[in-house]
Structure 1
Amino acid sequence: MERRLEVAARAGDIDALYSLLKEDANLLDRIENIPFIDTPLHIAASAGQVLFALEIMRLKPSFARKWNQNGYSPIYLALQNEQTELVISLLDVDRDLVRVRGREGKTPLHFAAECGMIDVLAEFLSVCPKSIQDLTIRKETALHVAVKSDKLEALKVLLGWLEHVGKDRPVLKWCDNEGNTILHVAASRFQIEARPYS
């Protein structure tokens, strides 16, 4: 039955979902009880099946914060697969999904900074401003991640947003687990463009 649910999630077949639930009303509960698994929401998010993902979120909101075996939440998988419409739809339901930590404590904001997803960064900061404070297990902010990934456009978006909301100074002074601020990291990587923000 789980295989049929996976096929339905990948295809975005809501009717098939409800047929399966008629056969086994506890199907989603059993999945919920498994600590690390690709839930139907993970599968739908990866495949860009927006309506199916929203229906699953309505039925089992807890799936949105669940990790799969690789340490990723559904919104993280949607980002990895460039399913931006789905990401935005999930945030319409729950803005705090931007702050769901995954593998190594990275949030979707960290991932967007690492990949240079400019529009997504702006959306994340707009819907969940506190996400700028989230740290990885290495105590890295999204700013650290952008600098270390050589994503200077992403760094500019983050710095511009901080300046706009008037929170730039404290976050710029935060150190990673090696004691480096983003300016230290930028200087060590010869990223001259980051220096005017000091």
Structure 2
Amino acid sequence: MSEPIWGQGNPLLDAHRDGDINSAKCLIRAHPKLASRRINRQGQTAMHYICDVADATTVKALVGEVPPEFLCSLRDNETRNLVHMAAEKGKEEVVRVLVNACPKLIQGLTSLAETPLLVALKNGQIGCFFALMELLQQPQYIDWMELLNRRDWDGNTLLLIAVSRKQAQMVGALLSYKQRNGDRVVDVNSTNNLGSTALDLHIQHMPDANDREISDILHEAKAKRGHELRRCHEGQSVQKMIEKFFLENSDIMKKSLLLVVFIFIATDASSSLSGLSSIYPIEHPAEILTINVKDMIRCPSLLPAVFYAIMADTVTFLSSMVMILVITWSLSTKCSLCYRAVPLLLTVAVLVRCVLVTKTIMPKFWMTIGPHKIPSFLAVWLFDLPLLFLSLAIWLMGKYVLILPKLP
């Protein structure tokens, strides 16, 4: 630090220059603002100057006279605190004194987003770096792992700086720290603002005697190139997008799948119904048969076989069309009523076609229920009703069984 240009007339600095520590202690205790006075154009305070030129004993005596919060508030124009200053100058014992007096100083950031660890590493102060690492592992620093991966203004972490400056000892030390689960504390594949990883920077700075040692350390830690990470991240991003799409639209996907299944069943039933005339030729008997419903129940063979085929096809078709209408209606909840009415009109049109085809191929006979006579065309729909209700009951039962396990 340059000699203070505005320090004249500061009793604290005068007492320090005279070596009168007791007077300095009394002054800083009674007038803490003397320590916060600016002494040069860089905005450094009197306490910055003392930490730069004094020994650890003097610094310890003075910082013990002021609250920790006061020490944390002392910053220069680049927002560097007292520990930044001591770490830059390699004053290991002063660093220990300051951090013990105010632990929050170790988390301070400069205007370039540099922690004291980054400042020590950039200035090659190995002793201060390891002193800070030792202090960081004390119980009060619950976020010390986050500090080891903190980035500066350029996005460089401690590992990236150590690799770019070929500081093999620092690289090995950083990658040796592990969590309780065995994972490394420092992210070996972190990237800076240019997208370069530690391995990229290592390859860019060729060659040196330390290169081999750093190369072995990085490969043991499974370091990757930046383009490998980007390719991996792109693949993961696409996979996450697909998973997110299916997760967010799972209900729609299920309904769409059911819709396709019921459309296939309805189409098959309609085709089967239309083709019955080729299997069972239409007959025009001279006399229309009359059958009592009790006789039909006792002896089903009294009815033509085509009647049962028509009944099976129509109940299948009607059940499928009802489900198609319900699913389509639920899928179009966000649409206007005009658009939602389209599936309803189409369903009605298809049902009318089904009725006309059924009437064409239905054999003519009468079914009597008490005093009432019902034509065969209406009889088939009368028999379809119980089957439709049975299908609905089975569907509701299945839905209830699927929901029941999810209930608390």
- Provide TM-score, normalisation by structure 1: 0.77
Which among 50, 64, 69 is matched to residue 44 of structure 1? 50
Residue 88, structure 1, aligned to residue 104, structure 2: no
Q: Which deviates more from structure 2 when the two are superposed, residues 53-62 or residues 139-148?
A: 53-62
Runs of at least 5 residues in structure 2 that lack an aligned partner in the other structure: 1-7, 137-143, 223-408
- What CA deviation, in whole Å up to 9, does each residue of 1:76-100 have, x standing for no partner? 2212323211111112223332221
Structure of higher RCO (CA pairs closer than 8 Å, 6+ residues apart)? 1
**What is residue 228 of structure 2 aligned with on the other side?**
none
Letter in 2 for 1:42: H
C-alpha displacement at 1:65, in angstroms? 4.7
User: Corresponding residue for 2:246?
Assistant: none
* Correspondence for 1:179: 195
Q: How does 1:1-198 map to 2 (within 5 A)?
A: 2-9=9-16, 13-18=20-25, 20=27, 25=31, 27-28=33-34, 31=37, 37-54=43-60, 55-56=62-63, 58-61=65-68, 62-128=70-136, 129-130=144-145, 131-162=147-178, 166-168=182-184, 171-190=187-206, 191-195=211-215, 196=219, 197-198=221-222
Structure 2 letter corresponding to 1:104? L
Cα distance between partner residues in 1 of 2:17 and 2:119 = 23
TM-score by length of 2: 0.41
Moved more, 95-104 or 8-17: 8-17
| Separation in structure 2 between the aligned mates of residue 142 and residue 89 of structure 1, nearest angstrom | 23
Identity, in percent, stands at 18
Contact 2:87 2:125 in 1 (8 A): no
Q: Distance in 2 between matches of 1:192 and 1:164?
A: 29
Distance 1:27 1:67, change over 3 A: closer
Structure 1 167/64 Cα, relative in aligned 2: closer, same or farther at 3 Å?
Answer: farther
- Unpaired runs of 5+ in structure 1? none
Query: In 2, Cα distance between the equivalents of 1:142 and 1:71?
Result: 20
| Whole-angstrom CA distance in 2 between matches of 1:16 and 1:90 | 21
Could you tell me how far 1:192 is from its partner in structure 2?
4.1
Distance 1:170 1:157 in 2: 10
Q: Distance in 2 between matches of 1:103 and 1:9?
A: 29
Structure 2 distance, partners of 1:110, 1:123, is 13
Q: Size of the alignment, in residue pairs?
A: 194
Q: What letter corresponds to residue 89 of structure 1 in structure 2?
A: V
Flag the structure with larger Rg: 2
Deviates more, 1:56-65 or 1:151-160: 56-65
- Counterpart residue identity of residue 31, structure 1: R
